Amino acid sequence: MPHLHIEYTANLPDLDEQALMAALNQVVCSHPSVLHDSEVKARIHRIASFRIGTQPQDRAFVHVLLQLLEGRSEATRQELAQALGAVLRQQVPPRPGLHVQLSVDVAEMNRPCYYKHQG
């Protein structure tokens, strides 16, 4: 724990997935609320089929969901959301003719309902 889920639309073919995951992981791993970098798990999904409003041909998005076990303050979650958003702005530059929406959601996971086994 934490888990990073990254989704982006297929009309961003030049998105460097590895660079984006590395930069996002760096933000989360370096945050004082995260004790071990080995706990941060990232995955990225390219969305081939999507619709944004009524004109998907000139619209795109990159969305990051960071899931944390409950117990961190709202200020900590806001700080992480802002830092992850800054990474998105750096890693996903504007593209002429394409409206790209960048978003981050930091969600809490219910500690009693989270299962993890390390072998």
**pLDDT tens digit sequence for 20-55:** 999 999 999 999 888 888 889 999 999 999 999 987
Instruction: Classify 119 as helix, strand or coil.
Output: coil
Q: Which residue has the higher pLDDT, 112 or 79?
A: 79
Region of poorest pLDDT, from 61-70, 80-89, 110-119: 110-119
CATH code where residue 49 lies = 3.30.429.10
- Provide the β-strand partners of residue 60: 100
The answer, as to whether pTM is greater than 0.75, is: yes
104 occurs within a structural domain = yes
119 occurs within a structural domain = no
Average of pLDDT values for 57-69? Answer: 94
**Distance from C-alpha of 32 to C-alpha of 21, rounded to nearest angstrom:** 19
pLDDT at 103 over 90: yes
Print the domain residue range for 70: 3-113
44 occurs within a structural domain = yes
Looking at residue 43, its amino acid is R
**Distance from C-alpha of 19 to C-alpha of 9, rounded to nearest angstrom:** 17
Query: How many structural domains does the chain have?
Result: 1
**Distance from C-alpha of 41 to C-alpha of 117, rounded to nearest angstrom:** 14
**Distance from C-alpha of 116 to C-alpha of 110, rounded to nearest angstrom:** 13
pLDDT at 57 over 80: no
